[in-house]
Amino acid sequence: MEIRAHDKVFDGRSFALFSFPDGRCAVARHNCWTCGNSYDGWECPVCSRKRLAEEQSRQAARQHEEQLEAMEEQREAMERAAQQQAEQAAQQEELLERQREAVEEAAERHRTTTANAWKLQAEAKSERAYSLYQSGMFEEAYRLAVQSIEQDPGNLDGFWVAASSLLSLHQADRARPYLEKLTQVLNLSEYRNSPKYFVQVLELLSAQSDLFHLGDAFSSNLRMNVGNWGRSGDSTAKARKLTGLLIELERFTDAQCVLELDLQADPRSIEALNIALALSKKLIARGDNDTANKIVDTLSTKSHSLITESYLCEMYCLLGRDGKGRIDAFVQEEKIDSQLTIEADVAQIKQISNGGQLSQETLAWVMRSVREKYGQWKSTIETQLRDTVVANAQSVGVKTGWGGAACGILSFFLLIFASAEYCLSQGFRPESTGPYFAFGALFGAILIGTLCERYIKRLRIAQEIRSRLAAAFNGENKRFAELGLPTLTTPSTASGAHAIVFLIYVGIIIAYIAGWFSLMTSQGKPLTPSQLPTARPQVTVQAPRDFTLEPPPDYPICTDEDGHTPTPDETIDVASLNIRRMVVPMRSDCWTKRFIVPANWPAYFLQNTSPTAEYEVLYMDGFRQKIRPDEHLSHNCRGIFRVRGEGNIIVVKGKFVARDGRTVVVPEDPQEIQTLSQ
């Protein structure tokens, strides 16, 4: 019987499957990869039970968490429901409380109305009687007023209508008892706390002068109740009206009593001050200076403004006291903080004087004192105004436009051009100065653009400050001129500060460029022979020259004093040495180092110090040239060459001159050739 074995992998586990010819299969025992247990069948029973237990544990944990969440939600729902019930209960309790209060208030009003029904009926009758009185039905008004008085003996309006009706019927004797009762009723609590009832009674008492003998009783009640009056606007107006009536009736003592109360409440009130001045004038006219002095002293203790002091100055002058000295002392004690208050008071004082309440003499003295004080404050006011305007102008955003950017871009190209010219004139290698060349120009452009933008912004802020200063000082001077005060001097904005800032910025830019060029000079390396131009320089000679056109041989180069033989790249660079001339000893058996003449020389001039020896010149392109003793050599372009011969060769800076219709090269300073030759 043939049995076949097959290796199978199922669910991450391997097992052996044996198949028999009759179709039966058998599985061999295997070891579990997880726990190492040996088992028959498809799955490890130990791992299976373990996985089943873990799954049951996870399900139990999830169910427990779900139960906890459900319980928490149920608890929160119960709390919300309890809170809503508590809020509803509180709202119901509040509603019930308001209902109880409304019921109690309605019951109280009903009780009050029931208890005061007689009084309300009396008031209704008095109001009707007043309507009849206004209609000219004096008899009917009198009878209805008497009924209201009988029903309410404390009804002031009833007594007033009864007395007024009898007076209109020319029955003064019958009206006198009602007037006496009317004066006594003023002591009742509902009437004594307001001056309007005293005005009402006084107007009736003063209607006929022969009945005003009741003024003493009225005065007694007035002095007894004046302290109970309120400080409302209507009460103050009625009190001032009462004071005016008392002054007209020459009841000056009573008027003083009411006026003192008004001045204590508001000593700056123009109406109260006008009443005080009018009362003082009448008292002084009657010779009662003592009472007038009392009014002035009362007002003096409450004086805290220029208006009050102006009225006091007027009163002092009327009493023969030093009112001008008082106003001077008050103004001199004022601080700069009270400037706006004084200006407002001055405008009001002018209006009062134009109205005739204050004399022109008092106004003139007040203005003189204020002008003197403003003369002392002038510099401070100008400084404060200027500082405020400058601060406001500087806090406003100023747009500079593209001025700074344009300066930066233009300066970038200018710096690139200047640095390129400098590097070419010095013969520096491009790779040695390249980084400094590019980044130096970029940073310089940024610096110049930033400084230009700052300077433009400074100029525009200065322009804004000038315009605002002119507008502010013109406005102040216009206002001061209307008030009669000394005008201010508009400060001038000097341009010297801008010039100094401009010079500082220019100095910064120059210092940066100088440092940048110094850095390129220190880091720059000269050109190598392979980088130097190979074209034969154009020459101009003053004497015949012999040219040898054969290729140059390997010429030996002279050694120095220490026996060192320079390499072909070693040169005598006149430009790097920053000199105007050079003297080099020559030898006939070897060549000197290369001469590199500066490119910024317009020309150069060569001459031998030996008058009997000739010398040779070897150019980079291999050309050789012999110069006789009586000749000299000059060129109108940059030269790179070697020399040999006897004596010393002199290289000096040349210049162009016109001789015999042609241009020649001569030494820039002939004395140098003569001095060196000697």
The average pLDDT across 423-451 equals 77
Match 């004046």 to its residue by tokens.
Answer: 226
What is d(CA 88, CA 159) in angstroms, rounded to the nearest whole number?
A: 57
The average pLDDT across 369-397 equals 84
Q: Which of 161, 159, 194 is nearest to 179 (CA)?
A: 159
SS3 234: helix
As a whole number, the mean pLDDT across the chain is 77
pLDDT tens profile 324-366: 888 888 888 888 778 888 888 888 888 888 888 888 888 888 8
Q: Which of 432, 421, 431, 434 is nearest to 524 (CA)?
A: 432
- Identity at 574, one-letter amino acid code: V
pLDDT tens profile 174-225: 888 888 888 888 888 888 888 888 888 888 887 765 555 566 777 787 788 7
The average pLDDT across 88-105 equals 88
SS3 477: helix
- Identity at 305, one-letter amino acid code: S
What domains does the chain contain, in order, with CATH numbers? 4-43 (no CATH), 119-185 (1.25.40.10), 189-373 (1.25.40), 403-523 (no CATH), 536-677 (2.60.120)
Report the predicted TM-score, pTM, of the whole model to 2 decimal places.
0.51
**What whole-number percentage of the chain has pLDDT above 70?**
78
What is d(CA 409, CA 412) in angstroms, rounded to the nearest whole number?
A: 5
* 434 vs 491, residue with greater confidence: 491
What is d(CA 121, CA 125) in angstroms, rounded to the nearest whole number?
A: 6
What is d(CA 436, CA 433) in angstroms, rounded to the nearest whole number?
A: 5
Query: Which conformational region is residue 250 in: left (phi greater than 0), alpha (psi within -120 to 50 degrees), or beta?
Result: left
What tokens does 614 get? 């000739």
Give Dmax over CA atoms of the chain in angstroms.
164
What is d(CA 618, CA 591) in angstroms, rounded to the nearest whole number?
A: 8
List C-alpha distances in Å: 426 to 56, 153, 516, 581, 595. Answer: 91, 125, 15, 17, 14
Task: Give pLDDT, residue 127.
Answer: 87
677 neighbors 609 (Cβ within 8 angstroms):
yes
Mean pLDDT is lowest, of 223-237, 400-414, 421-435, 566-580, for 566-580
For residue 448, is pLDDT > 80?
Answer: yes
pLDDT band at 527 (very low <50, low <70, confident <90, very high): low
- Identity at 318, one-letter amino acid code: L
Other CB atoms within a 10 A radius of the CB of residue 413 amount to: 11
HEC letters along 625-663? EEECCCCCEEECCCCEEEEEECCEEEEEEEEEEEECCEE
SS3 303: coil
Please list the alpha-helical segments (H only) found in 484-571: 496-523
Match 């109280």 to its residue by tokens.
Answer: 108
For residue 577, is pLDDT > 80?
Answer: no
- Helix (H) or strand (E) segment spanning residue 4: strand 4-10
The string of DSSP letters for 245-257 reads HHHHTT-HHHHHH
CA angle 545, 548, 552 (to 5 degrees): 135
pLDDT tens profile 282-314: 888 888 888 888 888 877 777 678 888 888 888
The average pLDDT across 534-559 equals 45
What tokens does 620 get? 């980079």
Edge-to-edge strands, sheet with 13-19: 4-10, 13-19, 25-27
Going by the DSSP 8-state scheme, the letter that residue 591 receives in this structure is B
Q: Which residues are 78's β-sheet partners?
A: none
The string of DSSP letters for 329-357 reads HHHHH--GGGHHHHHHHHHHHHHHHHTTS
183 neighbors 175 (Cβ within 8 angstroms):
no
What tokens does 296 get? 């002035």
